[in-house]
Amino acid sequence: MTASHRTYDQSHSGGSRMLVAMVGVGIICALLIALTYEGTLPRVTRLKAEALDRAIFKVLPGTNKSVPFAYVIDQGFVRRGGEETVGPTVYAGYDQKGNITGVAIQGSGQGYADVISILYGYNVQHQTVIGTHVLESKETPGLGDKIEKDQRFLSNFESLDARLNDEGTALLNMIIPVKFGNKENAWEVEGITGATISSRAIGNILGTSMTEWAPRIQEYKEDFYKDRSIEQ
Amino acid sequence: MREGGDRSARTGLLKMNFEGQTTDEFIKGLWRDNPVFVQVLGMCPVLAVSNTAWNALAMGLATAFVLLMSNILVSSLRNFIPRQVRIASYILIIATFVTITDYAIQAISVELHKSLGAFISLIVVNCLILSRAEAFASKNGIGRSIMDALGMGVGFTFALLCLGAVREIFGNGSIFGWSMFPDQFQEWIVMILPAGGFFTLALWLLIFNIIKERKAS
């Protein structure tokens, strides 16, 4: 065997060893991830569903049961069955007597660190926002996460004005964020000092989402009462 | 008979030596070679996540878990992985355990995952884990690697808690969410901001070095 042959063979076997090692480590890692994912998926799905249920009960005080409804253009709200998705979903809440307590709606928008996803309650009769809950947020702990904990900020959503205009096509007064201490009207969301961008984001999310959903819900609000079986 | 006695004495000595070494591997991470206060490693999560005591504790434990598991796997595969691809392999192993930790935290509590979500992925770039894989686990057996990871993990968690506690007390007026001062207390917002992380770290390094110097003299 010549020197050049030896060098080729050595580098070839070294290359094969590297390849085998990388593929081997990759397979072990892929197996570990797949096993953990499969193992945790049922519990994660269940916990997420429970968390959503808890959030619905939190943003719609007095709720005893929630029912998902999908919105279909020109048809209104259709009660969702199973896992199929026919359109964007909202959750109607009912008390023990079967009376509607409100509708829980998901909204999202850009925060300081990443997209903030929230669930908020809408009182159909009084046309007000009656509660918010942050579903997903990567805001700075200790600062941005005050949007979930600051009681003064959360009091904005005890009865936030979201009335429609006479035509029922848009909000009478757009929900807007204002600086801390500057709130004068029932449709303004007073921000938090030290979490300005995050609190403004919540105000903007509500403004945008209500502009889209309030006219739809008011137009088809009878859909939430149609099926009396859901009130049992 | 004499030969048998010598052998058992030698085995006993070796055993004592091994136990002494493994104990030392554990203790060094707690104090003498503390990853934060002495080696000044993993500063990104130390400064970013130590703004509350809960975040610091959870991040410390998550990092310790990844460190332990990656040390075990790197040590087990140390004779199988060629030198040229060792760093790529270690990063793959570390990223795997970070992903597993992410799933595990989600399965434990959605709320906990929500509060830590932004920081879990930061563990991948924690140079403490890569440095222990490269400097220790790739050259030592599984037993010693486990003790090394446990010592470094506990030391890292302890250091994060030291920072997190001070920052939360002054920045939020609470510890582990429990209010410590009357309502009139004015929070030092700067302590929660990144600048507060640097101030607190400098303070702890100062205290740590004073203690070390006094011990040495």
Identity of the residue in B97, B117, B192 whose CB atom sits nearest the CB atom of A143: B192
* Whole-angstrom distance, CA of residue B28 vs CA of residue B41: 15
Closest partner residue to B80 (CB to CB) among A24, A36, A47 is A24
B interface mutation test: which of A18, A25, A133 has the most B CBs within 10 A? A25
Confidence class of residue A7 from pLDDT cuts 50, 70 and 90?
very low
Residues A75, A46 share a domain: no
Provide the token pair at A58. Answer: 């939190």
Residues of chain A contacting residue B85, judged by C-beta atoms under 8 Å apart: 18, 21-22
Are both A21 and A85 inside the same structural domain? Answer: no
Q: Of A52, A77, A93, which residue is a domain's last?
A: A52
Q: For chain B of 217 residues, list the mean pLDDT of each consecutive stretch of 10.
A: 55 56 78 85 83 87 93 91 89 93 89 75 85 89 91 93 92 85 82 89 92 86
Percentage of chain A surpassing pLDDT 90? 38
Which domain, by its residues, includes A127?
60-231
Q: Are residues A125 and A177 in the same domain?
A: yes
What is the predicted pLDDT for the residue at A232? 46
Q: Do residue A5 and residue A90 come from a single domain? A: no
Q: Percent of chain A having pLDDT more than 70?
A: 88
Contact A22 B103 (CB under 8 A): no
Of B103, B172, B192, the CB nearest to A36: B103
**How far, in Å, CA of A4 to CA of B210, rounded?**
62
Residue A107: CA count within 13 A, CB half-sphere: 26
Does residue A14 have a pLDDT over 80? no
| Amino acid B89: pLDDT | 92
CB contact under 8 A, A21 and B192: no
Per-residue pLDDT for A127 more than 70? yes
Q: With contact defined as beta carbons under 8 Å apart, do A100 and A92 qualify? A: yes
Residue A38 confidence (pLDDT) above 90:
yes
A192-227 pLDDT, tens per residue?
887 889 999 999 999 999 999 999 999 988 888 765
Assess: ipTM above 0.90.
no
pLDDT of B8: 58
A44 and A65 assigned to the same domain:
no
Residues A36 and A84 in one domain: no
The shortest CB-CB distance from B96 to any of A17, A29, A136 is to A29
* Euclidean distance between CA atoms B1 and B14, whole angstroms: 20
Which sign does the torsion angle of CA A193, A194, A198, A200 carry? positive
Regarding pTM above 0.95, the answer is no
In this prediction, residue B5 carries a pLDDT of: 56
Average pLDDT over residues A140-157: 81
Mode of pairing for the β-strands spanning A160-161 and A176-178 = unpaired
Give me the pLDDT at residue B10, please.
58
**Whole-number Å distance between alpha carbons of A41 and A61:** 30
Whether A106 and A176 share a structural domain:
yes
Q: CB A14 to CB B82 under 8 A?
A: yes
B35-66 pLDDT tens trace? 888 888 888 888 888 888 988 898 899 999 99
Q: Is B190 helix (H, G, I), strand (E, B) or coil?
A: helix
In this complex, do B96 and A137 lie within 8 Å of one another by their Cβ atoms?
A: no
pLDDT at residue A5 greater than cutoff 50: no
A15 interfaces chain B, CB cutoff of 8 Å? no
Q: For residues A3 and A91, state if they share a domain.
A: no
Q: For A80-100, what is each residue's pLDDT tens digit?
A: 766 566 678 899 999 888 889
- Please list every residue in chain B whose beta carbon sits closer than 8 Å to the beta carbon of residue A17: 82
* Confidence band of A8 (pLDDT split at 50, 70, 90): very low
B170-178's contacts with Cβ under 8 Å and 24+ in sequence apart are B170/B196, B171/A142, B171/B51, B171/B196, B172/A142, B172/B52, B175/B53, B176/B53, B176/B54, B177/B52, B177/B54
Residue with tokens 């503390």: B34
What's the residue count for chain A?
232
Q: Is B195 touching A (CB cutoff 8 A)?
A: no
Number of domains within chain A: 2
Given a cut of 90, whether residue A167 has pLDDT beyond it is no
